[in-house]
């Protein structure tokens, strides 16, 4: 049974990494929803905060509440549609930083395991070889201390909870993950997952652009 979700969003200033006439790139803190939640008391979110300061910000994609890092918004319907297609057609490059439990025997690899919802324990996702959707994550260990490791995770697909499910399946759950970690791997103040780099084509100029935000852990 999953722990009860208590929403206590951080009271921190808005962090805009980049903006021009077409896009806004923001750095979301951990613990803040990307969009309003369905239940009462969950209206505070990055999109609401951003739109209070930039009325024309239009949502393109999301990050899990517990994940920090880069989110891009369009500033026109045209820009929003173009950016949405970049994600849908896998023309983006995304790199996450994670701290994981244990040290993998290999230093890098590709996880190719289908993911689907665990209907008996939502919002948990699971490896589902019968009905799951194809999912791929490339990973690379950056450093380790013998007990935990710091890794780059590069999702090739965009399934819900993909990185969290894949790292658990690899036997190295992300530290502080309230859904997929257990035991001592839970003994951390937050989910140790951060959207570190994002690269894609600019909706107006069509140039390849990239952004980064350092991991806060």
92-132: pLDDT as tens digits: 999 999 999 999 999 999 999 999 999 999 899 999 999 99
Q: Is the pLDDT of residue 2 over 70?
A: no
Q: Is the pLDDT of residue 45 over 80?
A: yes
What is the average pLDDT across 130-138?
Answer: 98
Which DSSP helix (H) or strand (E) runs through 87? helix 77-88
Q: Is the pLDDT of residue 3 over 90?
A: no
SS3 content of the chain, % helix, strand, coil (to 5): 15, 35, 50
- pTM to 2 decimal places: 0.96
Q: What is the pLDDT of residues 174-212, one digit of tens each?
A: 999 999 999 999 999 999 999 999 999 999 999 999 999
Q: Is the pLDDT of residue 58 over 80?
A: yes
Contact (Cβ atoms closer than 8 angstroms) between residue 167 and residue 40: no
Q: What is the pLDDT of residues 73-85, one digit of tens each?
A: 999 999 999 999 9
Name the fold adopted by 96-193: Pseudouridine synthase (3.30.2350)
User: Where is pLDDT greater, at 4 or 80?
Assistant: 80
Please report the pLDDT score of residue 204 as a whole number: 98
Residue 200's Cβ-side half-sphere holds a number of Cα atoms within 13 Å equal to 27
Q: Is the pLDDT of residue 4 over 90?
A: no
Q: Is the pLDDT of residue 41 over 90?
A: no
CA neighbor of 75 nearest in space, from 100, 98, 93, 56: 56
Please report the pLDDT score of residue 168 as a whole number: 98
Q: Is the pLDDT of residue 38 over 90?
A: no
Give the Cβ contact number of residue 83 at 10 Å: 25
What is the average pLDDT across 40-45?
Answer: 93
pLDDT band at 26 (very low <50, low <70, confident <90, very high): very high
120 given a catalytic annotation = no
Catalytic hit among 11, 15, 20, 64: 64
Q: Is the pLDDT of residue 39 over 90?
A: no
């Amino acid at each position: 049974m999953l722990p009860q979700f208590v929403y206590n969003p951080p009271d921190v200033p808005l962090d805009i990494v980049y903006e021009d006439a077409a896009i806004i790139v923001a750095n979301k803190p951990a613990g803040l929803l990307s969009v309003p939640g369905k239940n009462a008391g969950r209206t505070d979110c990055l999109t609401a905060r951003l739109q209070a300061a930039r009325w024309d910000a239009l949502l393109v994609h999301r990050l899990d509440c517990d994940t920090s890092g880069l989110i891009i918004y369009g500033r026109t319907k045209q820009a929003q549609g173009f950016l949405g297609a970049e994600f849908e057609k896998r023309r983006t490059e995304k790199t996450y930083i994670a701290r994981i439990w244990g040290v993998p025997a290999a230093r890098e690899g590709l996880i190719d395991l289908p993911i689907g919802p665990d209907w008996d324990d939502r919002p948990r996702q699971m490896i589902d070889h019968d009905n799951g959707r194809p999912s791929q994550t490339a990973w690379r260990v950056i450093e380790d201390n013998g007990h935990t490791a710091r890794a780059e995770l590069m999702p090739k697909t965009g399934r819900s909870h993909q990185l969290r499910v894949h790292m658990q399946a690899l036997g190295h759950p992300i530290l502080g993950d309230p859904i997929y970690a257990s035991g001592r791997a839970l003994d951390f103040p937050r989910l140790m997952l951060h959207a570190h780099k994002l690269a894609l084509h600019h909706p107006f100029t069509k140039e390849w652009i990239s952004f980064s935000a350092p991991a806060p852990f």
